[in-house]
């Protein structure tokens, strides 16, 4: 299969590209290598894919109107996997325009590109658990209205889903939205708590902890996410009755853990004690995330296999090796 992948140098994009290539697929990956976090990490991920004969990388910004089509050149694709986004809940308080540009304008450009492609099987794209906000009863189901996001990031991801639904209604564009829940693991994102806490603990710096560590997150290991993504990519699109061809799935561990549990596991993996400082949580944070994954389990056999107690030592081991600590 020929796959056009946006966000190919990102955390989930890199791991997914690697798995797809192993399985014999051809991947054209696009990424703008922006400085939201260290571009050197993104380039290091790409270096891991050097020499793969079925891999092509194009540095390009999907928020530029014709960028997706230019990046694809004359190559046709069987499927678009759209993982590029401006991520992070808190950074949206500093630069909301970046989220509008990447998550709305960029998403629209990918939709237009997909609409122009003949023979495209489907567009699979990343959404987020942040669409649920604080008003949804746990565990979060795809049938929830999800119309009260508490962060601007969550609002842009929900808006992207609505844009996609309209393209499904208007043009019959087959799409699958994936609401990811707190993905972590090797080659992860430096803005995420598990990375920040590990770095601080290893370097004897205090870590600010919101809500006395009682906030809960549905931490989901990267290998479980990638396994689901590959299964979805390789499964022909199946609609849902008379509805528009736009499906939504939760992908999470379905086992929320307190942030304090995360810290204790990092302490065990590093052999060091955290210096915890109570801090006031920023606007946009939710109390809990908790995925109902029954739909993904039924349609794709999705069953997460890596608990947090196993995934965190794997991350810490990679982190030490990458940073030579």
Positions marked active-site: 153
Q: Please classify residue 134 by burial: count the beta carbons closer than 10 Å to its beta carbon, then call 0-12 exposed, 13-18 middle and 19+ buried.
A: exposed
Contact at 8 Å (CB) between 184 and 220? Answer: yes
Contact at 8 Å (CB) between 225 and 303? Answer: no
- Cα 110 to its chain centre, rounded Å, is 17
Q: Please classify residue 122 by burial: count the beta carbons closer than 10 Å to its beta carbon, then call 0-12 exposed, 13-18 middle and 19+ buried.
A: buried
């Amino acid at each position: 299969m020929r796959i056009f992948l946006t966000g190919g140098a990102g955390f989930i994009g890199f791991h997914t590209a690697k798995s797809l290539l192993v399985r014999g697929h051809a991947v054209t990956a696009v990424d703008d290598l922006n400085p939201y976090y260290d571009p050197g990490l993104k380039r290091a991920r790409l270096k891991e894919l050097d020499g793969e004969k079925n891999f092509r990388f194009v540095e390009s910004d999907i928020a530029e109107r014709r960028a997706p089509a230019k990046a694809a050149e004359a190559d046709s694709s069987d499927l678009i996997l759209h993982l590029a986004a401006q991520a992070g809940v808190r950074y949206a308080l500093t630069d909301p325009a970046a989220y509008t540009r990447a998550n709305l304008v960029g998403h629209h450009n990918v939709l237009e590109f997909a609409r122009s492609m003949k023979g495209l099987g489907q567009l699979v794209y990343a959404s987020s658990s942040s669409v649920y906000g604080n008003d949804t009863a746990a565990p979060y189901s795809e049938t929830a209205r999800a119309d009260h996001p508490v962060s601007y990031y969550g609002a842009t991801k929900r808006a992207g889903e609505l844009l996609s639904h309209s393209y499904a209604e208007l043009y019959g564009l087959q799409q699958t939205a994936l609401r990811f829940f707190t993905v972590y693991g090797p080659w992860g994102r430096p803005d995420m708590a598990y990375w920040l806490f590990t770095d601080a603990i290893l370097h004897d710096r205090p870590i600010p902890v919101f809500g006395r560590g009682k906030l809960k997150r549905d931490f989901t290991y990267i290998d479980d996410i990638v396994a689901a993504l590959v299964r979805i990519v390789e499964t022909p699109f199946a609609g849902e009755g008379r509805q528009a061809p736009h499906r939504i799935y939760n992908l999470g561990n379905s086992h929320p853990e307190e942030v304090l549990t995360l810290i204790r596991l990092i302490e065990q993996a590093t052999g060091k004690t955290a210096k915890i400082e109570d801090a006031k949580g920023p606007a946009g944070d939710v109390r809990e995330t908790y995925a109902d994954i029954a739909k993904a389990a039924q349609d794709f056999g999705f069953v997460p296999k890596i608990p947090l107690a196993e995934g965190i030592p794997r991350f810490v081991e990679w982190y030490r090796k990458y940073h030579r600590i």
